[in-house]
Amino acid sequence: MKTSAAAGAYAVLGAPWGVAAEKEQAWFDRPMRWAQLVLVENDPGRFDPDFWLDYFKRVHADGACLSAGGAVAYYPTEIPLHHRSAWLGDSDPFGYLVRGCFAMNMAVIARTDPHATWDNTFEAHPNWIAVDSKGQKRRHWSNPELWVTCAMGPYNFDFMTQVHEEIMKLYQLDGIFSNRWAGHGTCYCEHCVENFKSFAGMDLPRTSNREDPAYHKYAGWRIERLRELWFLWDRTIRKVKSTSRYIPNGFPDNVVTGALSDIFFTDHQARSGVIPPWSNGKRAKELRATMGMKPLGGIFSIGLEEPYRWKDSVQTEAEIRIWVAEGTANNMRPWFVKFSGTIYDRRWLNVVEKIYQWHYTNERYLRNVAPLARAAMVYSEQTERLYGGQPWQEQSSGHELGMYHALIEARVPFEMVNDRLLDAEHLKPFKLLVLPNVAALSESQCEQLRQYVRGGGSLVATFETSLYDEEGKPRSDFGLADVFGVSYGGGVEGPMKNSYLRLKPDADSGRFHPVLEGLNDAYRIVNGIWRLQVKPQTNFPSPVTLIPSYPDLPMEHVYPRRPDTDIRELYLRELGQGRVAYIPWDIDRTFWRIMTADHGVLLRNIVNWVANEKPPVQVTGPGILDVTVWRQAKSMTVHLVNLTNPMMMKGPFREFIPVGEQHVRIRIPQNTKIERVHLLASDKACPYRIEGDTVELTAPSVLDHEVIALDFHA
């Protein structure tokens, strides 16, 4: 069987996912369910802290994040200019909540918010206030009583350091989490001007034009400065309690985030505008690519998350549940956030309670050790930053989003890989890498991908992948030309109208290539919007060729001028154990814009052909499901998140639409035997059949989120 080599690779678990399994469990690994209560200034004396402590208990929250200080202090601070809540009096609501949580054995971290301050601070230290590009001190955009602080100067480095030290000394917390700590746009205060000048030898940029060398330098300086601040605050609080950690809310570089954090939280609270619910899972995958299996909390809003900022609103039950399900299926630990201790609309309380109670009951199946996905999609922060400017490069995020959506529809469990972590150790778990127009790649990144293919790995790449270096400068040929077997021809065509792809069987055998499965009856399908002219360096099969654009008006003239060409629009190669597919047009971005089913089918088939091994899990049945697969210490799980809903592409969900029977085939990891299979949402045993290394079963229905749990023999 062809799976033997692959099975060897499949058995390699834990790398790079190895967490400190043998170390004593640190506090940050313990909490599985977080509760965040963000107090408002007039809460002290009005809100009922015991109600909240009781709620935390009911939902089995084992971690809490509570408002302490910054813009408003909720404890009797002694630091000059640290503004005590005007309603505080002699009380200490923060301390009361902290003691209550510690008594329930919860981990407790303080929330601070340094981004805004008051007139008295402005008067005492005008140089602590952010300055706009016209040289004006910045009033707060939402609240004109307040000032915006400079994140990179003494307000954060001196004043907030004292605040963090005081909070730690008084309450001996597990950590501090700061919201809005990293600034709001470029600050032109005296400190920023001077510090940037000594770093870069130039003035602060006046634009956010990516061609501007000052802007380029500024992005690097900002990351350095914020990293310094993170170190300073972490060092400060660890001096008070060595196990504590400083946790920033967001950091502008995922690789740095992964390296510096022992625990992190994503602040992607809910959908807004036109995004599918899988966006929450995507954020988890991006961070897992750099953090490995270190604990990641998924902050979710119980309200609407739109630009109009209805912070006291409550979202529908179905929308809250699908968002959290996407996070849980992707190994995020749920973290609800409630603004204001006084509740106006109580509808969310039962929703979160049900989600958390289910989570608590099934906790051992949610403590994942490693994902078992064999496919990974590469994402590139440098491409995002440095690529663009040409007409065919507009809306370039569509490449990644379209590919992501195609993999979801294809029900392929997959991880994401950061392009700066393409070393052998990080790529070891994967048989297949997908590169959706990963345009900016250095020579050494290309070499890492070359080695990966040499070692038996497979690649799917689209459009301008590797046609630019790590600085975003164009190359004369693809950095990966030898891997693709294709060179750049020097031209880009588009936006194309009325262009097609000719699908044809092999001239000798008369058989259709497997990448055309399900499309055999189609003489042709629609093309994308932009295509690169390329030159093949070797022989390729020709299952997909170009039908050039022809007039789309007047209707009398709409007939193909060249019904067939020998210009391939898909290049398929076998290189040892590996397979490579290069697609010289924007299939992924076109899929994101147009959602043509044929493009989805073609991408699914290409991914399956390139993988060239039995997948870890196959799920067949109606609907759109996000499928993820995990290993725990003594079990494995397959998550099925049901995204089938008229509100899938634009929330909120009104209700769930259950999907019918799903037939599931799961590959059992090497050296394990299955003892029991059950469905965690339905809460019942599931009949199953074992055939060789595969478990077969049927999940009768999925409402929102079903988890198939397979217990291993001891």
Interacting span for Zn ion (CB under 5 A) from 184-192, 386-394, 547-555, 684-692: 184-192
Whichever of 131 and 325 has its CB closer to Zn ion, that residue is 131
3-state SS assignment for residue 95: helix
Distance CA 223, CA 533 (A): 38
Query: Shortest Cβ distance from residue 225 to Zn ion (Å)?
Result: 10
- H or E element: which one contains 711? strand 705-712
Query: Shortest Cβ distance from residue 401 to Zn ion (Å)?
Result: 34
Query: Shortest Cβ distance from residue 204 to Zn ion (Å)?
Result: 9
Q: Identify the CA nearest to 342 among candidates 36, 38, 37, 46.
A: 46
Distance CA 325, CA 705 (A): 6
Beta bridge partner(s), residue 499: none
Which one of residues 49, 153, 528, 651 is an interface residue with Zn ion (CB under 5 A)? 153
Whichever of 227 and 321 has its CB closer to Zn ion, that residue is 227
Whichever of 150 and 681 has its CB closer to Zn ion, that residue is 150
Whichever of 153 and 327 has its CB closer to Zn ion, that residue is 153
How far is Cα of residue 94 from the mean position of the Cα atoms in its chain?
A: 32
* Phi, psi dihedral angles at 493 (to 5 degrees): -115, 135
Which one of residues 32, 106, 109, 150 is an interface residue with Zn ion (CB under 5 A)? 150
Residue 599 in tokens: 């493009």
Assign 3-state DSSP to the chain and report helix, strand, coil percentages, each to 5. 30, 25, 45
229 touches Zn ion by CB under 5 A: no
Number of residues that bind Zn ion (CB under 5 A): 5
Residue 232 in tokens: 């300073």
* Phi, psi dihedral angles at 550 (to 5 degrees): -140, 165
Structure letter (DSSP) for residue 155: I
Whichever of 187 and 401 has its CB closer to Zn ion, that residue is 187
Distance CA 364, CA 32 (A): 10
Whichever of 186 and 608 has its CB closer to Zn ion, that residue is 186
Interacting span for Zn ion (CB under 5 A) from 32-40, 144-152, 285-293, 665-673: 144-152
Whichever of 217 and 634 has its CB closer to Zn ion, that residue is 217
Interacting span for Zn ion (CB under 5 A) from 142-150, 208-216, 400-408, 423-431: 142-150
Query: Shortest Cβ distance from residue 229 to Zn ion (Å)?
Result: 12
Beta bridge partner(s), residue 619: 664
Whichever of 187 and 625 has its CB closer to Zn ion, that residue is 187
Q: Is the dihedral of CA 559, 563, 569, 574 positive or negative?
A: positive
Residue 365 in tokens: 């199946």
Query: Shortest Cβ distance from residue 312 to Zn ion (Å)?
Result: 32
Count of residues in the chain = 714
Query: Shortest Cβ distance from residue 187 to Zn ion (Å)?
Result: 3
Distance CA 166, CA 152 (A): 21
Whichever of 207 and 361 has its CB closer to Zn ion, that residue is 207
Whichever of 153 and 205 has its CB closer to Zn ion, that residue is 153
Q: Is the dihedral of CA 295, 458, 543, 530 positive or negative?
A: positive
Query: Shortest Cβ distance from residue 149 to Zn ion (Å)?
Result: 9
Q: Identify the CA nearest to 52 among candidates 67, 42, 41.
A: 67
The residue with tokens 């290069």 is 582
Map the footprint of Zn ion across residues 187-206, applying CB under 5 A.
Answer: 187, 189, 192
Query: Shortest Cβ distance from residue 194 to Zn ion (Å)?
Result: 10
Query: Shortest Cβ distance from residue 176 to Zn ion (Å)?
Result: 22
Query: Shortest Cβ distance from residue 200 to Zn ion (Å)?
Result: 15
Residues that bind Zn ion (CB under 5 A): 150, 153, 187, 189, 192
